[in-house]
Amino acid sequence: MARNKEALLLLLDVSPSMHTFLPEVEKLCSMLLQKKLIYSKNDEVGIVLFGTEDTNNELTKEVGGYEHVVVLRHIKVVDGDLVEALQQLPRGTVAGDFLDAIVVGMDMLIKKFGSTNKGKKRLCLITSALCPIKDPYEGTKEDQIGTIAEQMSAHGMKLECIVARGRLSGNVDMRIMDENDLLLKLFSTKTTAKTLYVETPTSLLGALRTRSIAPVTIFRGDLELSPKMRIKVWVYKKTAEERFPTLKQYSDQAPPTDKFATHEVKVDFEYKSVEESSKVVPPEQRIKGYRYGPQVIPISSAEWEAVKFKPEKGVKLLGFTDASNVMRHYYMHDVNIFIAEPSNTKAMLAVSALARAMKEMNKVAILRCVWRQGQGSVVIGILTPNVSDKDDIPDSFYFNVLPYAEDVREFQFPSFSNLPASWQPNEEQQEAADNLVKMLDLAPSGSKETLLPDLTPNPVLERFYRHLELKSKHPDAAVPPLDESLKKITEPDPKLLSQNKPIIDAFRRRFELKENPKLKKSTRRLLRERPSGLNEEASMGDGSDGQAIKSIENTSTVGVEKIGDSTPIQDFEAMMSCRDSPEWVGKAINEMKNKIFDLVEDSYEGDNYLKALEYLVALRKGCVLEQEPKQFNDFLHHLYKYCEKHNLNSFCESLASKEIMLINKTEAADSEVTEDEARSLMVKKEPKLE
């Protein structure tokens, strides 16, 4: 048997309690076999069903008993037949006894391999564990499990149990369920067994690692607390992205009669001088060049090797720090795991002591790591404790890389509190948001966390392998639609949504969204009404595109009293003198501002400037009369800035010539501007904030 060849026996519960899960069991197991077909072609697999009407296994013939257990396929090297057998599992009619199935499976493995292949034999049990277990002929069930576990350890078998239970319906016997859970737990204490509980079909799909990858250490050596205190550790990858398989290019050039055609495509690279495209440069005559300002500096790899940064291999502690000093979003890479050197008890103790102390004090360690000798870079990273709550799993550490100074781009964003008042949620809105965050809960207490990354399969890969299987039978098969259980990953769960319908509806009612109407039609910017007290940062709006000043339509201005195009100044004055409501003044000022701004904005080579200045004089007069200096001053500042940004200097100059300046204290007591300051506006500007 090849080195990493594995023998796997699938023990599948097909009893009625499992029927809702069977479509996913079929998918999960065929995915497992498909990946074996691609990545580990020599693995051997057998299938045992239990909870069936029939009985068909060797033990029943030899010793009797073991009813309702069917060996669907004997252990054999993976092939398409196995995949197909799994795609149409029969639905059983009777209760299934998982212990019987385990014994049958064990018997098959022992008969086939004896005590060879230790550690390469695996039993995978998928059951609901809701059916009663028959009492053994002698002794208790616990004793029986003890015997089975002993046998498993002796033969080097592993047991993986996946217990699939949906929302429990009323007719479930809690006593049986608890007993079964206890029995399964017993396995993990006595032998190498792992039990996983899943609640949804989606997590069932992710419950089994369908592709087995032999773990490879990226570092074995000392974790150096100081030159005098070292801990022997092994470092592995904890997460590593499983990528979409790279497919080879296909060439259809070979004649169809050619049985040995590879249909592969070779990619050939030719290097040509940019100037002389006829001359081909052989690859070995190439040399790497790095950009340095306008120059490109050639460096041969030998030269580079001689001068490059060459740190010593090793993992060194820089110190400990509060966990709050390193925020989660600074993690740069996939995750590594540090475990103590296997079978080195002292190292395990040291790791355990550190991990537990770190957890207790809420500390993390900062490390400097060079994994391999000759590696050209070092990483600074964070070591966090992973304290195990299971007796059979030792404590370990997680490690992630932190950014260097060069890797961080410190952009400035406006504070939320500085954003305009209209963008701030009011109390009702905040309450609606609170409720949504509280109730759209994926990890409700008393129930399993849904969409747990550890149990969520990659929908793209699932779909690809399914399509591959379909295509192997029908080359023209269409891409299968994403099935329901996978849709739960990409879309919100309809059940969760319907449960929280009132909250969602309330949320939707509280907030109003609308398309920015002005944006689509043209890119022209309109003056936005700026609530008083707004600072410059806020006018940068969404932070990214500061100049995009949005228009918030003043819908209330529709009426008789409106500044028209024919006699705007008169209209303005009329509105300002309207005494029936204090609103008019504000409205008049705003309308006038808009008008002036539009004029300035739309003017072509200053043709509107005279008009704009006229209006501005009127506005100033009005503001002085109504003692609204801030309105005018802010607007004038705004106008200046706008002109400055768009090179409309001539307008500013004409302002100066007309002596239009800020309203100062002597004119309006509320103004913060002194006379001198007002005069110096022409020479006083804020730089653009970046």
Residues 55-114, interacting with other proteins (CB under 8 A): 79-80
Contacts of 455 (CB under 8 A, 6+ apart): 196, 198, 202, 203, 206, 207
Restricting to residues 313-352, which ones interact with other proteins according to CB under 8 A?
A: 316-321, 325-335, 337, 339, 341-350, 352
Instruction: For other proteins, give the closer residue by CB, 55 or 188.
Output: 188
Looking at the Cβ atoms of 65 and 156, the one nearer to other proteins is: 156
Q: How far is the CB of 218 from other proteins (least distance, A)?
A: 11
| One of 132, 139, 492, 531 touching other proteins (CB under 8 A) | 492
In whole angstroms, what is the distance from residue 210 CA to residue 216 CA? 18
Q: Which of 58, 38, 126 is nearest to 465 (CA)?
A: 38
Among 237, 611, 658, 665, binds other proteins (CB under 8 A): 237
Separation between Cα atoms, residue 48 and residue 61, nearest integer Å:
16
Range in contact with other proteins (rule: CB under 8 A) among 168-176, 307-315, 582-590, 609-617: 307-315
- Give min distance, CB of 179 to other proteins, in A: 24
Q: How far is the CB of 631 from other proteins (least distance, A)?
A: 17
Residues 418-437 that bind other proteins (CB under 8 A): 419, 422-425, 429-430, 432-434, 436-437
Structure tokens at 138: 């002698």
Q: What is the DSSP string of 311-323?
A: PPSEEEEEEEEEG
Number of residues that bind other proteins (CB under 8 A): 234
Interface positions, 564-583, toward other proteins (CB under 8 A): none
Of the candidate residues 77, 218, 361, 610, the single one contacting other proteins (CB under 8 A): 361
114 vs 319, which CB is nearer to other proteins? 319
Least distance between other proteins and beta carbon 363 (Å): 5
Tokens of 112: 């086939």
Shortest separation between residue 121's beta carbon and other proteins, angstroms: 10
**Which CB sits closer to other proteins, 2 or 265?**
265
Residues with Cβ within 8 Å of residue 565, at least 6 apart in sequence: none
* Smallest separation (angstroms) from other proteins to the CB of 370: 10
Phi, psi (rounded to 5 degrees) for 683: -110, 10
333 or 621, CB closer to other proteins?
333
3-state secondary structure of 225: strand
Give the contact letters, 29-58, x = binds to other proteins (CB under 8 A), - = no.
Answer: -----x--xx--------------------
Nearer to other proteins, 402 or 578 (CB): 402
Nearer to other proteins, 175 or 390 (CB): 390
Edge-to-edge strand list for the sheet holding 193-198: 69-77, 44-50, 7-13, 121-127, 157-164, 193-198
Task: State the minimum distance, in angstroms, from the CB of residue 421 to other proteins.
Answer: 10
Tell me the C-alpha distance between 606 and 402, whole Å: 55
Main-chain phi, psi angles of 138, to 5 degrees: -135, 150
Using CA atoms, how far residue 380 sits from 216, 355, 369, 404, in Å, is 22, 19, 6, 8
Beta bridge partners of 607: none
Of residues 498-557, those binding other proteins (CB under 8 A):
504, 507-508, 511-516, 519, 535-536, 541-545, 548, 550, 552
The rounded distance, in Å, linking the Cα atoms of 248 and 135 is 56
Min CB(683)–other proteins separation in Å: 5
* Rg of the chain over all Cα atoms, to the nearest angstrom: 37
Is the CB of 135 or the CB of 672 nearer to other proteins? Answer: 672
CB 119 within 8 A of CB 44: no
Binders in 602-631 for other proteins, by CB under 8 A: none
Please report how close the Cβ of residue 73 comes to other proteins at its closest, in angstroms: 16
- Out of 26, 67, 107, 441, the only residue in the binding site for other proteins (CB under 8 A) is 441
Phi and psi for 314 in degrees, rounded to 5? 155, 155
Return the residue of 446, 453, 559, 564 that touches other proteins, per CB under 8 A.
Answer: 453
Task: Supply the DSSP string of 163-221, one letter for each residue.
Answer: EE--SPPTT--HHHHHHHHHHHHHHHHHSSEEEEEE-SHHHHHTSS-SS------SEEE
Phi-psi region of 244 (alpha: psi -120 to 50; beta: other; left: phi over 0): beta
396-401/69-77 β-pairing: unpaired
529: helix, strand or coil:
coil
Neighbours of 429 (CB within 10 A): 15
Contact pattern from residue 456 through residue 485 relative to other proteins, giving x for each residue in contact according to CB under 8 A and a dash for the rest: xxxxxx-xx--xxx-xx--x---x--x---
Interhelix angle 568-577/583-602, nearest 10 degrees = 160
Cβ closest to other proteins, residue 527 vs residue 592: 527
Distance of closest approach, residue 485 Cβ to other proteins, in angstroms: 13
Q: What's the one-letter identity of residue 623?
A: C
CB 113 within 8 A of CB 71: no
CB of 554 to other proteins, least distance (A): 14
User: According to CB under 8 A, which one of 168, 218, 261, 610 is a site residue for other proteins?
Assistant: 261
Q: Choose between 317 and 619: whose C-beta lies nearer to other proteins.
A: 317
Q: How many CA atoms lie within 13 A of 640 on its CB side?
A: 20
Considering only residues 205 to 234 of the shown chain, the ones binding other proteins according to CB under 8 A are 206-207, 209-211, 213, 215, 225-230, 232
Task: Give 381's contacts (C-beta < 8 A, 6+ positions apart).
Answer: 366, 367, 369, 399, 400, 401, 402
> Could you say whether residue 656 binds other proteins (CB under 8 A)?
no
* Of the candidate residues 128, 384, 539, 631, the single one contacting other proteins (CB under 8 A): 384
Question: Given the complex with other proteins, which of 51 and 206 has the nearer CB atom?
Answer: 206
Judged by beta carbon, residue 252 or residue 580, the one nearer other proteins is 252
Binding mask 397-416 for other proteins (x = CB under 8 A): -x-x-xxxxxxxxxxxx-xx
User: How far from 616 is each of 216, 503, 596, CA to CA, in Å?
Assistant: 75, 50, 7
Q: Provide the CB-side half-sphere exposure for 222 (13 A, CA).
A: 12
Residue 97 to residue 263: CA distance in whole angstroms: 50
Nearer to other proteins, 197 or 464 (CB): 464
- Of 42-50, 100-108, 453-461, 589-597, the window that binds other proteins (rule: CB under 8 A) is 453-461
- Least distance between other proteins and beta carbon 170 (Å): 27
- Give the nearest distance from C-beta 529 to other proteins in angstroms: 13
Least distance CB 599 / other proteins (angstroms): 20
| Torsion, CA 681, CA 687, CA 688, CA 690, rounded to 10 | -150
Please select the residue that binds other proteins; options are 85, 110, 176, 299, rule is CB under 8 A: 299
In DSSP terms, 127 is beta-bridged to: 163
- Applying CB under 8 A, the span of 45-53, 128-136, 279-287, 558-566 interacting with other proteins comes to 279-287
Indicate which single residue of 76, 272, 524, 562 sits in contact with other proteins (rule: CB under 8 A): 272
Binding-site member from 645, 666, 670, 674 for other proteins (CB under 8 A): 645
Nearest distance from C-beta of residue 189 to other proteins, angstroms: 9
Q: State the Cα–Cα distance between residues 91 and 73, nearest whole angstrom.
A: 16
